[in-house]
């Protein structure tokens, strides 16, 4: 049994970690922190988890890390780096914030504004896209969880850039995401009255997850790659669908994806010509990918669906933690999606 701490446990990704660990056979939650809600029982903050026997929410400084094996850090961006800097050396860390995703300090500054407080750590952090950095993750002390939109776009496109079968300059990622990705903070724009029965694009051509696309796509292509990326907000809680327009032969694209993912436990490539739906991965760690040929030859649409709170953040985090702790990678993560 491994001993786990979750920092920043009062948000949705924190609750999703707790939900998944609830039936994980080898993880025990030893502490849950939430500064402003310290002292509250977790079941009061998240009544859907009231049946669990969990530690009371506390402040970070109250936690004894002596016997802790791994910390999930679900704190806000910028706060996360400051807290992680002070964690004892023996503790492994999976960070769900954006703080350690970008390898280049200038890129970090450009997209997140402000100097990084933990530059040395940033250099050692491994980007948590499991299907690409599995060996590094196994050996890492600090793994940076990917952006949820980033994961949805990277998984279907990276194999195509590696294979050199699409034009790197002609990638358009049109994406729609559920509202839980915006977190539990009270914002007018995320009210039920404002979100339901409506659809719109946001952060157009300026979303921070562009930084992750640039970093990973350029690495895969061996030269700078800039994509077009338009996220939209869906009137639903969970799920991201990316519809990606590429130049290349659809069947070759499908073949490359099958080749890459046929042995992966959580990434499913649908039969050629089929497209996925977010509802079919809801609450699970699965990612479904599909390829459809455009009516114009040499063009194709690649689709990718995952649950932003699971494969897009907390499920991915546990998948990486399993690797870091020497546990089977899929442990605790094979819950089937919830439908309807």
Judged by CB under 8 A, the chain residues 27 through 56 that form the site for its own copies are 46-52
Could you tell me the smallest distance in angstroms from the CB atom of residue 304 to its own copies?
A: 11
The strands making up 126-127's β-sheet, listed across from edge to edge, are 57-58, 27-33, 2-7, 70-73, 92-95, 142-144, 126-127
How many residues in the shown chain lie near its own copies by CB under 8 A?
83
Task: Tell me which residue of 85, 32, 88, 40 sits closest to 60, measured CA to CA.
Answer: 32
Is 58 a known active-site residue?
no
Nearer to its own copies, 225 or 321 (CB): 225
Q: Distance (Å, rounded) from C-alpha 209 to C-alpha 220?
A: 17
Task: Tell me which residue of 300, 274, 279 sits closest to 289, measured CA to CA.
Answer: 274
Q: Distance (Å, rounded) from C-alpha 10 to C-alpha 6?
A: 10
What is the end-to-end Cα distance of the chain in Å, rounded? Answer: 34
Interhelix angle 105-112/209-221, rounded to 10 degrees, is 150
Q: Distance (Å, rounded) from C-alpha 149 to C-alpha 210?
A: 9
Judged by CB under 8 A, the chain residues 92 through 111 that form the site for its own copies are none
Find the binder of its own copies among 235, 251, 298, 328 (CB under 8 A): 235
Nearer to its own copies, 23 or 28 (CB): 23
337 binds its own copies (CB under 8 A): yes
Judged by CB under 8 A, the chain residues 305 through 334 that form the site for its own copies are 305, 334
Q: CA 76, 131, 88, 120 torsion: positive or negative?
A: negative
Nearer to its own copies, 101 or 282 (CB): 282
Which single residue is written with the structure tokens 């869906």? 234
Nearer to its own copies, 92 or 260 (CB): 260
The dihedral over CA atoms of 168, 149, 267, 94, expressed in degrees to the nearest 10, equals 120
Find the binder of its own copies among 241, 317, 323, 324 (CB under 8 A): 241
List the x/- string, 149-178, binding to its own copies by CB under 8 A.
-----------------------x-x-x-x
Could you tell me the smallest distance in angstroms from the CB atom of residue 139 to its own copies?
A: 28
Nearer to its own copies, 91 or 331 (CB): 331
223 binds its own copies (CB under 8 A): no
79 binds its own copies (CB under 8 A): no
User: How many residues does this entry show for the chain?
Assistant: 340
- Which listed range, 114-122, 158-166, 190-198, 216-224, lies at the site for its own copies (CB under 8 A)? 190-198
286 binds its own copies (CB under 8 A): yes
- Which listed range, 17-25, 30-38, 92-100, 117-125, lies at the site for its own copies (CB under 8 A)? 17-25
Judged by CB under 8 A, the chain residues 115 through 134 that form the site for its own copies are none
Q: Distance (Å, rounded) from C-alpha 226 to C-alpha 216?
A: 10
- Which listed range, 56-64, 86-94, 101-109, 193-201, lies at the site for its own copies (CB under 8 A)? 193-201
Element at 293 (helix H, strand E): strand 287-293
Nearer to its own copies, 135 or 170 (CB): 170
Nearer to its own copies, 142 or 240 (CB): 240
Task: Tell me which residue of 11, 10, 7, 1 sits closest to 309, measured CA to CA.
Answer: 11
- Which listed range, 31-39, 103-111, 205-213, 319-327, lies at the site for its own copies (CB under 8 A)? 205-213
Could you tell me the smallest distance in angstroms from the CB atom of residue 90 to its own copies?
A: 29
190 binds its own copies (CB under 8 A): yes
Q: Distance (Å, rounded) from C-alpha 33 to C-alpha 6?
A: 6
Task: Tell me which residue of 39, 42, 94, 33 sits closest to 60, measured CA to CA.
Answer: 33
Residues noted as catalytic: 148
């Amino acid at each position: 049994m491994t001993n786990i701490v979750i920092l920043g446990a009062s948000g949705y990704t924190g609750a999703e970690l707790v939900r998944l660990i609830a039936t994980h056979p080898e993880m025990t939650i030893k502490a849950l922190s939430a500064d402003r809600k310290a002292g509250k029982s977790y079941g009061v903050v998240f009544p859907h988890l009231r049946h669990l026997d969990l530690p009371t929410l506390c402040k970070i400084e109250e936690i004894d890390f002596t016997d802790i094996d791994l910390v999930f850090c679900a704190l806000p961006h910028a706060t996360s780096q400051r807290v992680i800097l002070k964690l004892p050396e023996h503790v492994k860390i999976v960070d769900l914030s954006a703080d350690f995703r970008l390898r280049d300090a200038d890129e970090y500054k450009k997209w997140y504004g402000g100097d990084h407080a933990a530059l040395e750590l940033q250099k050692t952090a491994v980007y948590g896209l499991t299907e690409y950095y599995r060996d590094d993750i196994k050996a890492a002390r600090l793994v940076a969880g990917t952006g949820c939109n980033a994961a949805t776009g990277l998984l279907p496109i990276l194999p195509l850039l590696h294979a050199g079968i699409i034009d790197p300059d002609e990638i358009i990622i049109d994406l729609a995401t559920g509202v839980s990705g915006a977190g539990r903070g009270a914002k007018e724009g995320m009210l039920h009255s404002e979100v339901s029965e409506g659809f719109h694009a946001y952060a157009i051509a300026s979303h921070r997850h562009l930084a992750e696309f640039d970093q990973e796509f350029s690495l895969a292509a061996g030269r700078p790659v800039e994509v077009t990326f338009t996220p939209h907000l869906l009137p639903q809680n969970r799920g991201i669908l990316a519809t990606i327009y590429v130049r290349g032969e659809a069947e070759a694209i499908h073949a490359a994806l099958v080749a890459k993912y046929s042995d992966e436990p959580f990434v499913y490539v649908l039969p050629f010509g089929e497209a996925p739906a977010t509802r079919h991965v809801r609450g699970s760690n699965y990612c479904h990918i599909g390829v459809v040929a455009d009516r114009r030859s040499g063009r194709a649409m690649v689709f990718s669906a995952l649950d932003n709170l699971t494969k897009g953040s907390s499920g991915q985090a546990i998948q990486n933690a399993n690797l870091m702790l020497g546990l089977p990678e899929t442990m605790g993560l094979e819950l089937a999606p919830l439908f309807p």
